Amino acid sequence: MPSVPSDIAIAQAARLRPITDVAAEVGLGPDDILPYGRHKAKVTAEAVKARTPKGRLVLVTGINPTPAGEGKSTVTVGVSQALRRLGKKVIVCIREPSLGPVFGVKGGAAGGGYAQVVPMDEINLHFTGDFHAITSAHNLLSAMLDNHIHHGNALGIDSRRITWPRTMDMNDRALRSIVVGLGGMNGGPAREDRFVIVPGSEIMAILCLARDIVDLERRLASIIVGLTGDRRPVTAGDLKASGAMTLLLRDALQPNLVQTLEGGPALVHGGPFGNIAHGCNSIVATRLGLALGDIVLTEAGFGADLGAEKFFDIKCRFGGLNPEAAIVVATVRALKMNGGVKKDQLGTPDVAALTRGLVNLEAHVRNVGKFGVPVVVALNRFTSDSEEELKTILDAAASWGARAALSEVWEKGGEGGEAVAREVLALLDEGKSSFRPLYDDALPIREKIETIAREIYGADGVNYAPAAEKSIAQCEAMGLGATPVCIAKTQYSFSDDPARLGRPSGFRITIRDVYPSAGAGFVVALAGDIMTMPGLAKVPAAEAMRVHPDGTIEGLF
């Protein structure tokens, strides 16, 4: 296999189409877009409102991530390029990268190799400012909350029961638990506080689930910031903050139009994490894609136990979406790691370990089937994969009733995704999808949590910490019992223990707390020791990044 340059080298060498040409390909005229330079634009609210969804929706998800890498975003972009090569009018809809992971662990997050969305560097670094707008709206509410208490606290907010945190889009473990208000009489009341990363902010979830500007403001007003002394909820609407927050988010709600390396249209909008949030791009962008294209490929974060479950049970429920097929991405390397092989030994063929690890892929394939959605397994090929290993996975997928094909999009771009694309088209032609959510959202909170834990994670049951018990009762008393549940859990395992790989059994999930995301429209259940503010790695990706005198960039992988 020939050597492939770095992602940033490929992206910087690409010759991009003017964004007006990309827009015209999907029927958007000059008045329908607001260009941000030559190669990216926002689609106006008027253009979004004037178009009705009509296309067919395909979800891209994957196995539990490992340090060996799976390439889910790369497959999403690459298969969209392949479908375009096959003459289909296709739109790719993915999330915006967070600066935290970009500078933390993995570098860039816009696909890889010859299957990227571009301009890759701009998408990874500030883009059109959506994350900054979300940060500002979130922290405006934090400031107005503390300001209200400082100036007399007419609403009677109990400072011990404030639940609204602050946010920033960077991995910073020192901000997980802090004390604010230490500036004396003019510094506001001293109290405990915390930061969450922007992809975990409720504002991010609201932006991604709102249908329009009216729905956005309604949701923002419903945010619960804390409780009074007699445990009544206080909202952003009570603080009269929702109007100004909506103003800050007005432009951010408009979807971002860019292109793939092969010039196809891509909507990159919103960026909630799949482990601590619902992990999907915006409903506005997905519905716009369905209006502009015949097929939309969209991605959900991390493995199917997190991103896909939340896509089906939260996003599709709120967005009125009907997914007709799903791609589950897997690699030989990651499955061998699930079978017990250490990372430094993954290049050695080991069919026995691969076979042990296949239970992880099988569980994800069968879980997607529980939503009535048929599956294609996309096997992302690496140079170290043996033919026997590849055949073992393809044969196993067929035995589970799933279609499967090799993906070589990283090396070959759209050409390398045609085998997967043809299998997706075959599924769509068969028309066998009968999508349905996993649970009725009218069920009690406990029953919804336990349904997900049992049916998706394979747990024997759920244990609730005393704090979670109290919070569930509080959420139901506030009228939030009949909403979906967003479980925040480690992405590395079906269980809440990241060390338990493969398909663990004989375990119970521990829910340590539950809190309302009333504006987003769901409650969040924290499982195990999951954190809502990540930390940097021992050697952050930022250490390898620099700008050369000619303006080219190094280190955005």
Question: Which pLDDT tens digit goes with each residue over 38-83?
Answer: 999 999 999 999 999 999 999 999 999 988 778 999 999 999 999 9
Spatial distance between the Cα atoms of 536 and 197, rounded to a whole number of angstroms = 12
Cβ-count burial 109-128 (b if 16+ within 10 Å, e if not)? bbbbbbbbbbbbbbbbbebb
Structure tokens at 259: 């292109």
- Give yes or no for residue 91 having a pLDDT over 60: yes
φ/ψ of residue 344, rounded to 5: -75, 0
- Give yes or no for residue 2 having a pLDDT over 70: no
Query: What single-letter DSSP state applies at residue 16?
Result: P
Mean pLDDT across the chain: 95
- Give yes or no for residue 413 having a pLDDT over 90: yes
pLDDT tens digits, 488-497: 999 999 999 9
How does residue 515 score in pLDDT terms, banded at 50, 70 and 90? very high
Identify whether the C-beta of residue 141 lies closer than 8 Å to the C-beta of residue 223: yes
How high is the pLDDT of residue 555? 86
How high is the pLDDT of residue 106? 61
Spatial distance between the Cα atoms of 493 and 530, rounded to a whole number of angstroms = 12
Spatial distance between the Cα atoms of 337 and 68, rounded to a whole number of angstroms = 8
Query: CB under 8 Å to 272, separation ≥6 — which residues?
Result: 95, 199, 200, 204, 205, 208, 278, 279, 280, 301
> What's at 26, amino acid-wise?
V
- Give yes or no for residue 557 having a pLDDT over 80: no
According to CATH, what is the number of the domain 445-527?
A: 3.10.410.10
Spatial distance between the Cα atoms of 162 and 142, rounded to a whole number of angstroms = 10
How high is the pLDDT of residue 3? 77
Indicate the class that CATH gives domain 130-249: alpha beta
Identify whether the C-beta of residue 101 lies closer than 8 Å to the C-beta of residue 213: no
Tell me the CA distances in angstroms from 483 to 284, 440, 501, one per residue in order: 21, 9, 31
Query: What single-letter DSSP state applies at residue 98?
Result: P
How high is the pLDDT of residue 245? 98
Q: What share of the chain is helix, strand, coil (3-state, %, to 5)?
A: 40, 20, 40
Phi/psi class of residue 320: alpha, beta or left (left: φ > 0; alpha: ψ in -120 to 50)?
Answer: left
How high is the pLDDT of residue 107? 61
pLDDT over 70, % of the chain = 99
Spatial distance between the Cα atoms of 525 and 472, rounded to a whole number of angstroms = 9
How high is the pLDDT of residue 184? 82
Arithmetic mean of pLDDT, 22-39: 97
DSSP β-ladder status, 508-517 and 522-527 = antiparallel
Residue whose structure tokens are 């791009």: 281
Identify whether the C-beta of residue 336 lies closer than 8 Å to the C-beta of residue 353: yes
Q: Which CATH superfamily is domain 7-36+51-128+261-332+358-430 in?
A: P-loop containing nucleotide triphosphate hydrolases (3.40.50.300)
Which of 266, 253, 210, 212 lies closest to 94 in space, CA to CA? 266
pLDDT tens digits, 251-275: 999 999 999 999 999 999 999 999 9
DSSP 481-539: TTS-EEEE--SS-SSS-TT--SS--S-EEEEEEEEEETTTTEEEEEETT--SS----SS
How high is the pLDDT of residue 1? 46
Domains 7-36+51-128+261-332+358-430 and 130-249 equal at CATH topology level = no
- Give yes or no for residue 235 having a pLDDT over 80: yes
Identify whether the C-beta of residue 259 lies closer than 8 Å to the C-beta of residue 16: yes
How high is the pLDDT of residue 542? 92
Spatial distance between the Cα atoms of 246 and 360, rounded to a whole number of angstroms = 42
- Give yes or no for residue 162 having a pLDDT over 80: yes
Spatial distance between the Cα atoms of 333 and 69, rounded to a whole number of angstroms = 8
Residues in the chain: 557
The domain ranges of the chain are 7-36+51-128+261-332+358-430, 130-249, 445-527
pTM more than 0.75:
yes
Residue whose structure tokens are 């009218």: 442
